[in-house]
Amino acid sequence: MADGYYKAAIFLASLGEDAASEIMKTLDPMELQKLGAKITELSDIPQKDLNEVYEEFVESAAKAGGINVEGKAYIQKVLTKALGNEQAERVIDNLVDEDEGGLEALKWMDPKSVAALIKGEHPQTVSLILSHLDTTQASEVLTNLPDFLRSDVMIRMATLEDIPPGVMQEIGAALQVELNQDENKTGGSKKVKGIKLVADILNQVDQSNEQAIMGSITEHQADLAEKIRALMFVFDDLVQIDNRGMQELMKEVNKDDLTLALRAAKEEIKDKFFSNMSDRAAQLLKEDMEAKGPVKVSEVEKAQQVILKAAKRLADAGTISIGGKGGGSSEALI
């Protein structure tokens, strides 16, 4: 049979949307992109392939007749359940966009290599390239770009709306030449929600870089910076979640991450978490926080990001409601 991702795609398709979405929640972006691409290609799965997959997974033989799957419709439903509407749309856009040549290769490169490849390009070209990447990868590429380039790129990305037909294909063709890949594709216009995209990227950049970039954007275009801040979701915004939502969030949060994250949190954030625990659980958490020795600010910020991503995922899925956004950066004093 074909490669492992094809087998995994068949297996997920046979499980149904609910089970498949739960599995896909655990995948990293690279795995998700590769697996999602295979699922979009599915149509009628041969019975022999289905049997072989189930044998490999030590499962019972599949039912006769195979599985009829509309690949694109299926991946739309699964990713929406796994990631929420907004993130699912971005992933699907990347999966089905087959007309952008060498840009596709960037998704599988490490961020430092991507930054090294594009740092000499015009800032507008860099902004278009980053808009094509997953926000996690784009945020890592951004931190590896020269300081003078980063805020300029973010400003340009925030003002993106429509990318004219052919522009992304031209960029992809140029990248393919550099990457020694073949190129022979065309495409149409692409919609980009620039400000929201910038906010999503900056949400995943470490605090020091986020503050530096936002400071520079504020200096050059204060109104634009305010619009970006309004869409950013920071740790302080968790205080706006209602009690039911906070209890749902804590089901998704690892105790170790919470212990670290609250070390640098404002008192009102700590109280929000403590008030939604039993007295015993709150006391144990406080003791763990006091007992833990000195930790790096970067470790605290990483734990906060883990919790923020869980909250964003629940909000996108409609499980919780986030009342406030852009309350400012969380304190980094430990």
171 shares its domain with 130: yes
**Number of domains the chain is built from:** 3
Note whether residue 83 is domain-resident.
Answer: yes
136 shares its domain with 85: no
CA distance 30 to 135: 12
The pTM for the full model equals 0.42
Contact 267, 236 (CB under 8 A): no
Contact 330, 260 (CB under 8 A): no
Contacts of residue 299, defined as CB under 8 A and 6 or more positions apart, other chains included, come to 260
- What single-letter amino acid sits at 287? E
257, with CB counted inside 10 A (0-12, 13-18, 19+), is middle
* CATH number, position 119: 1.10.220.30
170 shares its domain with 85: no
Structure tokens at 247: 């209890």
CA distance 307 to 176: 38
Give CA torsion, residues 188, 194, 199, 202, to 10 deg: 70
217 shares its domain with 114: yes
Task: Please indicate whether residue 15 or residue 311 has the higher confidence score (pLDDT).
Answer: 311
Last residue within a domain, chosen from 96, 121, 152: 96
For 82-92, how does the pLDDT look when each residue is reduced to its tens digit (9 = 90+)? 666 666 666 66
Q: Residue 316 — pLDDT band, cuts 50, 70, 90?
A: confident
Structure tokens at 37: 């691409």
**Domain boundaries, position 116:** 103-231
- What pLDDT is stored for residue 293 in this prediction? 76
219 shares its domain with 293: no
Note whether residue 321 is domain-resident.
Answer: no
Assess whether pLDDT exceeds 80 at residue 322: no
When mean pLDDT is compared across 2-16, 183-197, 249-263, 307-321, the lowest value belongs to 183-197
Contact 35, 5 (CB under 8 A): yes
89 shares its domain with 128: no
Note whether residue 85 is domain-resident.
Answer: yes
When mean pLDDT is compared across 97-111, 132-146, 206-220, 304-318, the lowest value belongs to 97-111
Q: Residue 202 — pLDDT band, cuts 50, 70, 90?
A: confident
- What single-letter amino acid sits at 125? T
Phi-psi region of 235 (alpha: psi -120 to 50; beta: other; left: phi over 0): alpha
CA distance 200 to 232: 7
The stretch 231-256 carries a mean pLDDT of 87
Would you give the end-to-end CA distance of the chain in angstroms? 54
- What pLDDT is stored for residue 92 in this prediction? 60
Note whether residue 23 is domain-resident.
Answer: yes
30 shares its domain with 64: yes
121 shares its domain with 221: yes
Note whether residue 22 is domain-resident.
Answer: yes
213 shares its domain with 166: yes
110 shares its domain with 220: yes
122 shares its domain with 223: yes
Contacts of residue 333, defined as CB under 8 A and 6 or more positions apart, other chains included, come to 264
Last residue within a domain, chosen from 96, 129, 157: 96
Last residue within a domain, chosen from 61, 80, 96: 96
150 shares its domain with 112: yes
Note whether residue 331 is domain-resident.
Answer: no
Note whether residue 248 is domain-resident.
Answer: yes
Contact 260, 328 (CB under 8 A): no
Note whether residue 257 is domain-resident.
Answer: yes
Query: HEC profile for the chain?
Result: CCCHHHHHHHHHHHHCHHHHHHHHCCCCHHHHHHHHHHHHCCCEECHHHHHHHHHHCCCCCCCCCCEECCHHHHHHHHHHHHHCHHHHHHHHHHHHCCCCCCHHHHCCCCHHHHHHHHCCCCHHHHHHHHHHCCHHHHHHHHHCCCHHHHHHHHHHHHCCCEECCCHHHHHHHHHHHHHCCCCCCCCCCEECCHHHHHHHHHHCCCHHHHHHHHHHHHHHCHHHHHHHHHHCCCHHHHHHCCHHHHHHHHHHCCHHHHHHHHHHCCHHHHHHHHCCCCHHHHHHHHHHHHHCCCCCHHHHHHHHHHHHHHHHHHHHCCCCCCCCCCCCCCCCCC
**Residue 162 pairs with which residues in a beta bridge?**
191
For 63-73, how does the pLDDT look when each residue is reduced to its tens digit (9 = 90+)? 344 545 556 56
